[in-house]
């Protein structure tokens, strides 16, 4: 399911990105030779082109039919068989589809990219980034209109939070409720994460039982968290109230029911779900006595755990136990709210990017495996669209980086031409493109190599 979600999301984003290049190219009467979803080395699953006013199709072909050589002003549309990207081949442009300067030896034609004015070429190059960013804003607006926004105010989680190990090492304790960061009151955990990890905050105020405690935050706090490779900062602590049972549940077989609240095991109090999980972890294949409340009455059941060490009961979500804050949006209200959310996501991602250049950040770079793990194991449309919007923001930002072979490289060279009045030569562009592609391939290998190393380490 993760693979399906990843491929569907990336395919949609690549299509939107390339459509941006296509739109501006056609707007300025530039010929687009090919528009492909997925790459097509050796053969294409589908080729389609309008020839003499009628659509012609070719399936599973190594080369385009002879008829496709007519009507050169029309685009060949296609679907490749390598589902990891796509491309838009623009005539007269040195890019990842055409890295040879020798093909530019002839005089520029009026329908070629290289014959267009600098500002037009700039917009053609920026088209993909613009479409990805606008697409993210539209998706965020659609999400808010359809599902609204629901969050759990920090202080509504009355049993506090469980923190990741790196946070605990810096003075926090499980059960702490964060009240303020840098003496500024906070209401949601997303605010805490932004202020402490991205804005370099130096202090945090928490409620610990009946005490108010101030915790100093070290300068390398964010790097410690990155180095730990934890996917979470904190999760709410909540009681273990049974919501449903797994098939063959030991708890259900031994008389427990939906709504029972588990409070202890083998005489050890377990006021929260995480307390119960930690206590039962060492009781595989052993007899256990589970204490629970039903309708205000304390009861107990005894049974033997199997090798999995699980009772087969699913806890109720904290979002069903604690009072959440739900905001609904009309269609018109969702648009500015979606724009604000998309803009904030971009700003936060840019703030995070600085850690890529640190030792800790570089070691945590990930490839397709890391991205795929952002999606859940079961299908959820709201999560899918949220992740797609976020990935669209990332794709827009990464593509605007001033690296040859990326859109940002073309932007850099075009701006140089607009400022100095001197256009980089085709031979220089060819070499820059090849260097840029080598860098990207090296980064791709490194990131996916990290994924492979982490997978092997987890297995062995």
- Taking only the tens place, the pLDDT of each residue in 158-173 is 999 999 998 999 999 9
Predicted confidence band of residue 215 (pLDDT cuts 50, 70, 90): very high
Task: Look at 338 and 373; give whichever has higher pLDDT.
Answer: 338
Residue pLDDT, tens place only, 72-125: 889 999 999 988 788 999 998 876 665 555 566 677 788 999 899 999 999 999
Do the beta carbons of residue 205 and residue 214 sit within 8 Å? yes
Per-residue three-class SS string for 137-191: HHHHHHHHHHHCEEECCHHHCCCCEEECHHHHCCCCCCCCEEEEECCEECCCHHH
Task: Look at 373 and 330; give whichever has higher pLDDT.
Answer: 330
Q: Phi and psi for 54 in degrees, rounded to 5? A: -125, 145
DSSP 235: E
Alpha helices in 236-291, H assignment, sequence order = 250-253, 273-280
314 vs 349: CA distance, rounded Å? 34
Query: Domain limits of the chain?
Result: 2-145+386-459, 240-315
And the tokens for 126? 């920026």
Residue pLDDT, tens place only, 393-452: 999 998 898 888 788 888 998 899 889 888 888 788 778 878 877 887 777 786 767 667
| Summary mean pLDDT of the chain | 87
413 vs 436: CA distance, rounded Å? 13
193 vs 352: CA distance, rounded Å? 11
Where are any strands of DSSP class E within 191-330?
Answer: 203-208, 211-216, 234-236, 240-245, 261-265, 268-269, 287-294, 297-304, 313-315, 325-327
| pLDDT recorded at residue 459 | 64
| pLDDT recorded at residue 101 | 55
138 vs 147: CA distance, rounded Å? 14
| pLDDT recorded at residue 102 | 55
| pLDDT recorded at residue 49 | 93
Q: What is the CATH number of domain 240-315?
A: 2.30.42.10
154 vs 186: CA distance, rounded Å? 8
- Does 221 have pLDDT greater than 70? yes
């Amino acid at each position: 399911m993760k693979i399906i979600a990843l491929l569907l999301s990336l395919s949609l984003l690549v299509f939107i990105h390339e459509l941006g290049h296509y739109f501006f190219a056609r707007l300025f009467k530039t010929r687009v030779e090919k528009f492909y979803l997925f790459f097509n080395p050796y053969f294409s699953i589908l080729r389609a082109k309008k020839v003499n006013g009628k659509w012609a199709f070719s399936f599973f072909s190594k080369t385009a039919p002879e008829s496709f050589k007519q009507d050169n002003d029309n685009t060949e549309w296609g679907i490749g068989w390598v589902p990891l990207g796509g491309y838009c081949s623009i005539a007269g442009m040195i890019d990842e589809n055409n890295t040879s300067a020798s093909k530019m030896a002839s005089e520029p034609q009026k329908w070629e990219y290289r014959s267009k004015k600098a500002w037009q070429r700039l917009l053609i190059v920026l088209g993909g980034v613009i479409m990805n960013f606008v697409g993210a804003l539209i998706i965020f607006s659609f999400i808010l209109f359809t599902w609204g926004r629901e969050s759990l105010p920090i202080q509504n989680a009355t049993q506090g939070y469980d923190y990741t190990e790196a946070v605990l090492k810096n003075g926090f304790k499980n059960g702490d409720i964060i009240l303020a960061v840098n003496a500024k009151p906070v209401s949601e955990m997303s605010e805490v994460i932004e202020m402490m990890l991205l804005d370099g905050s130096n202090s945090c105020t928490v409620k610990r039982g009946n005490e108010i405690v101030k915790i100093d935050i070290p300068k390398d706090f964010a790097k410690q968290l990155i180095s730990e490779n934890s996917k979470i900062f904190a999760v709410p602590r909540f009681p273990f109230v049974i919501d449903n049972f797994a098939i063959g549940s030991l708890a259900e077989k031994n008389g427990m029911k939906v709504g029972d609240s588990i409070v202890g095991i083998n005489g050890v109090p377990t006021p929260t779900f995480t307390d119960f999980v930690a206590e039962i972890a060492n009781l595989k294949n052993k007899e256990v006595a589970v204490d629970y409340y039903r309708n205000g009455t304390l009861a107990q059941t005894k049974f033997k755990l199997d090798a999995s060490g699980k009772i087969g009961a699913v806890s109720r979500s904290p979002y069903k136990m604690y009072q959440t804050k739900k905001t609904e949006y009309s269609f018109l209200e969702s648009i500015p709210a979606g724009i604000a959310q998309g803009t904030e996501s971009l700003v936060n991602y840019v703030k995070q990017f600085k850690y890529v250049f640190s030792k800790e950040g570089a070691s945590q770079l990930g490839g397709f495996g890391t991205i795929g793990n952002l999606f859940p194991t079961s299908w959820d449309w709201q999560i899918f669209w949220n992740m797609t919007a976020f990935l669209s923001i990332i794709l827009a930002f990464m593509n605007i980086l001033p690296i040859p072979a990326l859109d940002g490289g073309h932007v850099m060279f075009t701006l140089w031409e607009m400022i100095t009045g001197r256009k980089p030569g085709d031979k220089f562009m060819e070499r820059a493109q090849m260097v840029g592609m080598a860098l990207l391939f090296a980064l791709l290998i490194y990131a996916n190599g990290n994924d492979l190393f982490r997978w092997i380490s987890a297995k062995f």
